[in-house]
Amino acid sequence: MQKYLTSITPDSLSGLIFALEGIYDGVVLLNGPSGCKFYHSSLSDGQMIRSLDFDPLNYPEKWYFGQPHVPCTSIDNGDYVYGSEEKLRETLRFLRENVKFNVLFVVNSPGAALIGDDLRGIARSEIKDRPVIVYESPGFSENMPKGYVRAFEAAAEYVSRDESISGQGNSADCGGSDASKKVNIIGAGLWRRNFQGDVEELHRLCKMMDIEVNCMLMAGCFWQDICSLSDADLNIVIAPEFGEEIAKKLKTLTGTGYYICDSQPIGFKATEQWAREICEILDLPEPYKIIEESQRLRARCYPLISRLNSLTGMPTGRHFAVEGRYSEALGYSKFLLKYFGMTPDSISILDADMENCKEELENFLRLYGVEDSLKKPILDTDAEIVLASGNTIGGLKLKGADFGGIDISLPSLGYIDVIPKTHLGLSGAVLLVELVLNGLKF
Amino acid sequence: MSKIAVYGKGGIGKSTISANLSAAMACAGHRVLQIGCDPKHDSTKLLLSGRKLTTVLDYMRRTGPLEQKVEDILGEGYMGIGCVEAGGPKPGVGCAGRGIISTFELLQRFGLLQRYDTVVYDVLGDVVCGGFAVPIRREYADHIFVVTSGEFMSLYAANNILKGIQNYDGDEKRVAGIIYNKRNVKGEDERVKKFAEAVKLPIAVKVPRSDAFAKAEALGITVYQMGEDERLQEIFSRLASELDKGIKLYSANPITDEELEACLLDTSVSEGFSAKNAGENERENAGENRTENMQGGSYTENEAFYPTENRDLHSKDPDLGNNTSSKVPGKSCERERDNAVDAGEACGSPLEKPVYYFSKSLKNSEPLHGCAFNGALSTCAHLKGTVILAHAPKSCTYISYQTISSSGRRRLFERGTLLPVSLSPSIQCTEMGESEIVFGGMETLEEKIEEIKKSRPKAIVVVSSCPAGIIGDDINQTEMLSDNETKVIPLRTDGNMAGDYLQGMLMAYITLAKAFIDKSVKPDMSVVNVLAEKIIDTNSESNLKTISGYIGRIGLRVNCRFLYNTDVDALVNFKKAGLNLLAFGDYTGKMLGDYFEKEYGAEIFRKPFPVGFDNTAKWLRALGQRVGKSEEAEEIIKSEQEAYNSRIAKLRPVLNGKKVLVITYNHELDWILKTAIDAGMEIVKIGILSFSQDEGFRSELDLNCPVELEYEKEKRTEDVERYKPDVLLTNYASSIADKVRISDIIPMCPEVGFESGVKTVERWAQLMKLNRKGDWTGDAEIFNKYYAR
């Protein structure tokens, strides 16, 4: 089997673009060739449809190439030699006069980053009435989370500087709560397999704790929400690889503390713990609504698992495999091992140099004597349940492996989710129970 | 042919020296071409009496590839010397190094270098990026001179140039020596001498400072042409003569920066040239003719120095090998430019495989859809048994991987089908990072190739991205890593610098064909190849199944699919097919047909896979005729005709007199138009939108309706109101879709065969009967209320 699959993963360019595309009223202009734009535009639209219009004629070929997102300057060989200023100015003028936006992000493609055009000077001379944030380098083969962090770092100056806007936040789907506590949630984004469902579940859980989401950072927020990040009482980090650095930066900028749970809130116990700890930090009462719902859902799951177990002995002791970053791997492993009693066969780490949660994962596996699972590549697994991207699941199927696949990261296998789904929180826990039960072989 | 690169710091006199050397070579009877590789583009002005040329880069920017002509950028100067200026961006913008790469690609496409027996490259040496190193590449220069004065920065640049050469050559010998251009700076003789000793190079020529240079420049000619200073003329004549006889070549042995500083420490490097000492030094030089000893040899000032033991210009030293110049006097490779000719094969280095087949976008200077890198990767992935190695950052590879694998994942999910190429394309990546970007990525690339070779694939196809192209990584060098088990095949797309997605496909087709097809295989008329299936078309497999069903009934089977899920063996035996069927007759299909016809003498069956009844009948009839199976073909048509007539008869009562308005990107519509007409429908208007990779609308039908090319979207509403169509045929259901009774989509790649048209029209009839679009179509307002941002 090919060993390369794990090296074919998105890098910081995608992290950067997807983070910025998560801002509703921003436009992400790629100073680069159309080849760098198609995938990002298509995925952005698929994850967060913002406009009904899908008619290519309404998205000029010259910049949009018929797609609704990520216009590009379409630079070519000549522009690499002579510089992209001419095309960049032309595109900026088009955007200024034809497209509604409150903030413009200009991102150099990897190739354009090498020719050293004065992006900032050019962009700011054309767009004077709105913030323009430029990214001279998207990074070269850096990990995806670094792109996300980079996206925020350039925007961070607006958080501390533009204090006049503070208090005018308008977070999506948050409306009208009387809650006294506000939080920002950091680390969700368009690159997640269940972006919409994740966001909805996090909002729902917060509401159950009587907390208002001030800003779902770069995951369906408005520019003003970012400017008013300092309004929050706490920054909650969902995926530390993406959020920890930003939370630390915000601590410095705004003085707001942050919370990172042991792993991602995957499974009943992890969600309960997540909610309890947040309430404790915010000096709120026990999250009894969450505890109660968790119990009800576990009760719902019990007879189904029990029946299966009585008949087949499953799922206890059955093998699973996970492919993901440390915090994801830890979240899924804890849930599958502790709740189902399943055994990890392979845990493959992506972006392994992002070591958030590394120690926690190793300690956890060591505690159960299954630390060797970290040494086994996922493409060698014979586990019954495989949690990975659609590419890895496809590769294993091609190899003839016999397993139930759960796509936990993009690219997915292609299922179109009409009902937003998530693996986070209580809704996520129930879905995972459903997927595991259906993925096991009777 | 002598190919001489003259490198040196900016302003050191390279252009003057190059021009005088060119003049001397021309006077010695050579056909000389001088190429200025400096953005300030004044290398050849002394050869052209001050006349300025259109630079190659300016020219490329404003002239489409098919309109480009060599005479537009080639000037003829003194003694017929060919003059070319690369040009480049203004200071502070763009990438001049990349400009050099582009220039050489164009010159190679023109086959220009082959018209001359001596080529002199005048190259800026301050910038040490990969682009400016292009002339150092083996296939371009076989002699390299480094020009320097005794000033520290000049020597520093000279040392850097040697580092660049060493990177390419290792211990190989291509350096012909130092050209010492005196600035009359105090102590410079000593410094240059020390430097030459340190880097183990001879001072090939010492050019004295002379007012004659300024005088000649004022006249717009070379000192050599001016002829007033015999001493200077003699210097260049002698150098030309040395080159003619076979000059001794050396390996590059640069020293470290610390060694360079130490080497020059005891000389006053900071002392500049002053008007006062200039005159003194000038007089000194004029009166001097002293002999010095260096490196065990001897030289007379103002002439070349060579170590004594190397003065045998017809050296028998086996080390000299191919490095000794092998001039072919007066002979040139006269190959005229031809859009459909690969000059690289005939005249150039085997390492270079320029593409002369252009995609439509490239040909017409349209915005580039996608990149050649992605097109090449996607195409090469269909050759099984090979590994495609993307020399790129992860993002480029990931994006391409998703393009290829998305259909595989969908098929697995939707129907449990395993499509190996799509589901798990054999692609790896060098993961170019900051380090490779700054220091060059060749080392990483070579390591990766060696690693992949351990798994013994039949071939590794190396495809380059934009960053690799900009920094000038010469992936063509990797061909040398081929061995008996694994071919290493470079495919230099340089991201989108070679062109768009389709250009990448064309490059991949040609490169892989050249690498594998065995021209000696004898054809067999019972087998056919299938060309130009679309790799992104989800119908490709089912369409081939339909076609295979037809051709199987007339005794044919498929040999090689070029390229779709193809074995290397099938590709090697490509010529076994007596006939080659085109899956598509669009621009790419035609071009591929032309290529195989021209380069391989393949017989191309020009009618593409047929869509719709009439097309399929014509196609089968023609194919049957060609392979002597007309009766079998007629039998198939006859049985299908009965079925078709019966289905159409059932549709007429519902569709007769109904109006169809067509607004589309598709250029071949006969399959659906003919069926609609057969069913009694009226085509009221056809609007062809100006967005297509295709070559233009074409129809064999006698259409009695307006056909508007370059249709503008603003007219849609007006036309819908004017014609009141029952059916609107389009590609994307647009905002006007709800204003018509039926809005249907024309697939970009329709199903092939007899049934495609009738199936579509049957659906319309069904929709007419239902008279329902579905309640969901009325919910746009609700979406806008709750979700639109």
pLDDT (average), residues B634-655: 96
How far is residue A355's CA from residue A358's CA, in Å, rounded to a whole number?
Answer: 5
Q: Which has the closest alpha carbon to B661: B747, B612, B735, B722?
A: B722
Residue A161 has pLDDT above 60, yes or no: no
Does residue A77 sit at the B interface (CB-CB below 8 Å)?
A: yes
> End-to-end distance of chain A based on CA atoms, in angstroms?
27
Of the ranges A227-241, A319-333, B176-190, which one carries the lowest mean pLDDT score?
A: B176-190
H or E, element range at A169: none
Instruction: For residue A86, list chain B residues with Cβ-Cβ distance below 8 A.
Output: none
- A189 CB-contact burial (10 Å; exposed 0-12 / middle 13-18 / buried 19+): buried
pLDDT band for position A399 (cuts 50, 70, 90): very high
Of the ranges A214-218, B298-302, B445-449, B614-618, which one carries the lowest mean pLDDT score?
A: B298-302
Whether residue B9 lies in the annotated active site: yes
Summarize pLDDT for A403-442 with one digit per residue, the tens.
Answer: 999 999 999 998 999 999 999 999 999 999 999 999 998 7
pLDDT band for position B55 (cuts 50, 70, 90): very high
pLDDT of residue A32: 96
Residue A2 has pLDDT above 70, yes or no: no
pLDDT (average), residues B630-656: 96
**CATH architecture assignment, domain A301-441:** 3-Layer(aba) Sandwich (3.40)
Scan residues 51-70 of A and list those with Cβ closer than 8 Å to B. 51-58, 61-62, 65-66
pLDDT of residue B329: 31
pLDDT band for position B344 (cuts 50, 70, 90): very low
User: What is chain A's length?
Assistant: 442
- Which residues lie across from B384 on neighbouring strands? B567
Chain B nearest-CA distance from A295, in A, is 33
Strand pairing class (B566-567; B118-124): unpaired
Beta strand extents in B583-626 (DSSP E only): 604-605
Residue A162 has pLDDT above 60, yes or no: no
Chain A nearest-CA distance from B333, in A, is 29
- Of residues B370, B424, B466, nearest to A394 (C-beta): B424
Summarize pLDDT for B731-779 with one digit per residue, the tens.
Answer: 776 667 777 888 888 888 899 999 999 999 999 999 888 877 778 777 8
Summarize pLDDT for B92-113 with one digit per residue, the tens.
Answer: 777 888 888 888 888 988 889 8
Summarize pLDDT for A178-203 with one digit per residue, the tens.
Answer: 558 999 999 999 999 999 999 999 99
- Which fold would CATH assign to domain A181-288? Rossmann fold (3.40.50)
- The active-site residue, picked from B38, B117, B126, B189, is B126
Comparison of pLDDT for B732 and A233, the residue scoring more: A233
pLDDT of residue B138: 67
- Of residues B93, B431, B495, nearest to A35 (C-beta): B495
Cis peptide before B563 (omega within 30 of 0): yes
Q: What is the DSSP string of B741-785?
A: SEEEEPPSSPPPBTTHHHHHHHHHHHHHHHT---GGGG-HHHHHH
Answer yes or no: do B403 and A39 touch at CB < 8 A.
yes
Q: What is the DSSP string of B677-729?
A: HHTT-EEEEEEEES--SS---B--S---S-EEEEE-TTHHHHHHHHH--SEEE
Rounded to the nearest integer, the mean pLDDT of chain B is 84
Summarize pLDDT for B493-522 with one digit per residue, the tens.
Answer: 999 999 999 999 999 999 999 999 999 999
Q: What is the DSSP string of B426-476?
A: -EEE----HHHHHH-SHHHHHHHHHHHHTT--SEEEEEE-HHHHHHT--GG
Q: Count helices and strands (H / E) in chain A.
A: 15, 11
Answer yes or no: do B98 and A80 touch at CB < 8 A.
yes
Using the structure block, give the residue that is written with the tokens 């900009």.
Answer: B470
- HSE-CB for A165 with a 13 A CA cutoff: 16
* Fold equal for A181-288 and A301-441: yes
Q: How many CB atoms lie within 10 A of CB B92?
A: 9
pLDDT of residue B292: 32
Q: How many CB pairs under 8 A join A and B?
A: 215
Q: What are phi and psi of A144, to 5 degrees?
A: -55, -45
SS3 breakdown of chain A: % helix, strand, coil, rounded to 5? Answer: 50, 15, 35
Whether residue B126 lies in the annotated active site: yes
Query: B635 Cβ partners below 8 Å, 6+ apart?
Result: none
pLDDT (average), residues B398-402: 94
Q: What are phi and psi of B180, to 5 degrees?
A: -95, 105
pLDDT band for position A6 (cuts 50, 70, 90): low
Summarize pLDDT for A65-118 with one digit per residue, the tens.
Answer: 878 899 999 999 889 988 999 999 999 999 999 999 999 999 999 999 988 788
Chain A nearest-CA distance from B28, in A, is 37
For chain A, the structural domain boundaries read 10-158, 181-288, 301-441
How far is residue B59's CA from residue B264's CA, in Å, rounded to a whole number?
Answer: 44
pLDDT of residue A52: 67
How far is residue A129's CA from residue A135's CA, in Å, rounded to a whole number?
Answer: 19
Query: B488 Cβ partners below 8 Å, 6+ apart?
Result: B449, B459, B460, B462, B478, B479, B480, B481, B482
Comparison of pLDDT for A160 and B332, the residue scoring more: A160
How far is residue B104's CA from residue B87's CA, in Å, rounded to a whole number?
Answer: 12
Of the ranges A5-9, A23-27, A184-188, B650-654, which one carries the lowest mean pLDDT score?
A: A5-9
Summarize pLDDT for B313-342 with one digit per residue, the tens.
Answer: 333 333 333 333 333 232 333 333 333 334
Summarize pLDDT for B111-164 with one digit per residue, the tens.
Answer: 898 899 999 999 887 666 777 777 877 678 899 999 999 988 899 999 988 988
What percentage of chain B carries pLDDT values higher than 90? 58
Does residue A38 sit at the B interface (CB-CB below 8 Å)?
A: yes
Query: B216 Cβ partners below 8 Å, 6+ apart?
Result: B46, B222, B223, B225, B226, B228
How far is residue B572's CA from residue B566's CA, in Å, rounded to a whole number?
Answer: 10
Which pTM value belongs to this model? 0.84
Summarize pLDDT for A308-359 with one digit per residue, the tens.
Answer: 999 899 999 999 999 999 999 999 999 999 999 999 999 999 999 999 999 9
Using the structure block, give the residue that is written with the tokens 């903030």.
Answer: A103
Output the CATH code of domain A10-158: 3.40.50.1980
- HSE-CB for A178 with a 13 A CA cutoff: 0
Instruction: Kindly state the DSSP code that residue B423 receives in the 8-state scheme.
Output: H
- Which residues lie across from A143 on neighbouring strands? A11
Summarize pLDDT for B205-230 with one digit per residue, the tens.
Answer: 999 999 999 999 999 999 999 999 99
Using the structure block, give the residue that is written with the tokens 């042995």.
Answer: B253
Scan residues 5-24 of A and list those with Cβ closer than 8 Å to B. 5, 7-14, 24
pLDDT band for position B573 (cuts 50, 70, 90): very high
Minimum Cα–Cα distance from B97: chain A residue: A81
How far is residue B186's CA from residue B149's CA, in Å, rounded to a whole number?
Answer: 11
Summarize pLDDT for B438-476 with one digit per residue, the tens.
Answer: 878 999 999 999 999 999 999 999 999 999 999 889 899
pLDDT of residue A11: 94
pLDDT of residue B786: 82
Answer yes or no: do B428 and A51 touch at CB < 8 A.
no
pLDDT of residue B311: 32
How far is residue A156's CA from residue A235's CA, in Å, rounded to a whole number?
Answer: 15
Does residue A397 sit at the B interface (CB-CB below 8 Å)?
A: yes
> End-to-end distance of chain B based on CA atoms, in angstroms?
66
Q: How many CB atoms lie within 10 A of CB B487?
A: 18
Query: B730 Cβ partners below 8 Å, 6+ apart?
Result: B662, B663, B664, B737, B743, B744, B745, B746
Rounded to the nearest integer, the mean pLDDT of chain A is 91
pLDDT of residue B88: 86
Whether residue B394 lies in the annotated active site: no
Strand pairing class (B659-664; B604-605): unpaired
- Both tokens of residue B313? 């210009």
- Which residues lie across from A235 on neighbouring strands? A184, A258
Comparison of pLDDT for B274 and B610, the residue scoring more: B610
- Both tokens of residue B306? 């060579």
Using the structure block, give the residue that is written with the tokens 């976008």.
Answer: B361
Instruction: Kindly state the DSSP code that residue A338 receives in the 8-state scheme.
Output: I
Strand pairing class (B75-76; B82-85): antiparallel
Residue B270 has pLDDT above 70, yes or no: no
Summarize pLDDT for B130-142 with one digit per residue, the tens.
Answer: 777 778 776 788 9
Residue A374 has pLDDT above 80, yes or no: yes
Comparison of pLDDT for A141 and B732, the residue scoring more: A141
Q: Tell me the longest C-alpha to C-alpha distance in chain B.
A: 109
Residue B240 has pLDDT above 80, yes or no: yes
Task: Write the CA distances from B329 to A207, B81, B116, B322, B369, integer angstroms.
Answer: 87, 15, 9, 17, 46
Q: How far is CA B163 from the centre of its chain?
A: 28
